[in-house]
Amino acid sequence: MTEIILKLRVVTPLFIAGAEQEQQAELREPSIKGLLRFWYRAIYPDDPEGEAKIFGGQGKGQGQSGVLLRITDRKLSLGHKDDDRWNKTKTAYLGYGVIVRDKKKKEITTRPYIKSGSRFSLIIRFNQFRSDQSHQCVLNAEDKLRFKRALWAWLMFGGLGARSRKGFGSLMLDSVVGLDDDLPCLNANNKEELQASIHTFIKGISAFQQKQISGYPEYTQWSDKTRCVITGQGKNGEDALEKLGCKISSLRSYQSKDKLAWVTDDHDLMDKFVRNVSVPTHPPIRSAFGLPHNYFFSSSQQSGEVNFMDQNGKKGRRASPVFFTVYEFSTHTQACVVMLFLPAILIPENKEVRLSTGEQGKAGYRYKDLALIDDFTAITDILDEFSKADNHGLKVYP
């Protein structure tokens, strides 16, 4: 076997668990392997055979994974459920779901978590030969390189656990053994080095993909619509996450003087719908950030929802196409946020989203099903704002 040894540090709170989600935070190898598989597929969407060869599959001629993962040297500091350390912060705004407001109007965590500063090692081993003793090599040099590219993408753009697309569960590489020297550096000292490293990686993707995707692909993957921005500034990971939440809140909140134009349009559309003043002709623009999302209007004490309806007519989910990852520089004195936009078709062409108000099955419940076009104005407006110099922004790609 050949192996890669990564020493990783948690830089923002990590909400992850096994079967007992409300009892104990737990790092598990299958969670990491699933994320590596996701990033492999984003880079190599047309390679199901190679994917199965590396990560395993149940199809004919497939079998166990050619890659083995093992987590060691766990030095974890654990946080508990009902922790109120993010009360009245914008970190809580980004962590909606794992951080909620209780009956006392206080933001608390809904499950245990792993605290920033925790460390662990990840050992990745490549099986040299098949288990059937045929002495046939499982992974060749190209397979291993493809896997390492997926690993690089996960470490730079991904995270671990719940709300990782919103900056939670971000990891920093303290040291590595066995990763190819021809991959861009993962340990930058400043934004300019980080910008150069990411730009090199993304530009290289078109060179080794079978074909460059034009327009919006069906699933999350690199295309000619991909964008990447480095933004923000903090003294550490949690500080950068809080400042990210403050800025996003100011751009997306109806009461904010800095809100973007579509925020008012969305507010008015849903307000008139829940008050039965008018029937909307299109969903809110912010649907591009993912579904479902909710509204509450203090003036009328009424609420509304926007949901993606799945193939069974039930409420489904659509993940955000924007990845926020907190990056701590190798100096350990400064942090920023990497924003990666990988747009894909928002929902299948034959599906709709449902705007609703009231409680289903009870008097006053109303809904309207509408088509959702692939309009990413809300996201591109956010990216443009974060690219500005006064937000410590740097355009990375294109």
Residues 6+ apart with CB under 8 A from 394: 191, 192, 195, 229, 230, 231, 387
Range of the domain at 94: 1-180
Domain shared by 97 and 209, yes or no: no
pLDDT of residue 135: 47
For the packed helices 48-55 and 141-157, what is the interaxial angle rounded to 10 degrees? 80
Low-confidence ranges of the chain (pLDDT < 50): 135
Domain shared by 151 and 227, yes or no: no
pLDDT of residue 206: 75
Domain shared by 233 and 103, yes or no: no
Indicate yes or no: pTM above 0.75.
yes
How many folded domains does the chain comprise?
2
Of the three residues 180, 195, 229, the one that is the final residue of a domain is: 180
pLDDT of residue 356: 96
pLDDT of residue 24: 86
Q: What is the CA radius of gyration of the chain?
A: 22
371-375 long-range contacts (CB < 8 A, ≥24 apart) are: 371/282, 372/283, 372/287, 372/308, 372/346, 372/347, 373/282, 373/346, 374/216, 374/343, 374/345, 374/346, 375/285, 375/288
Domain shared by 270 and 121, yes or no: no
Of the three residues 180, 195, 216, the one that is the final residue of a domain is: 180
pLDDT of residue 311: 73
Kindly list the distances between the CA atom of residue 166 and the CA atoms of 68, 216, 309, in Å, as whole numbers in the listed order.
Answer: 28, 22, 23
Domain shared by 77 and 131, yes or no: yes
Domain shared by 292 and 335, yes or no: yes
Domain shared by 386 and 259, yes or no: yes
pLDDT of residue 167: 98
pLDDT of residue 1: 56
pLDDT of residue 108: 96
pLDDT of residue 156: 98
Domain shared by 191 and 52, yes or no: no
Domain shared by 209 and 156, yes or no: no
Domain shared by 188 and 120, yes or no: no
Of the three residues 152, 180, 208, the one that is the final residue of a domain is: 180
Domain shared by 137 and 265, yes or no: no
Domain shared by 201 and 167, yes or no: no
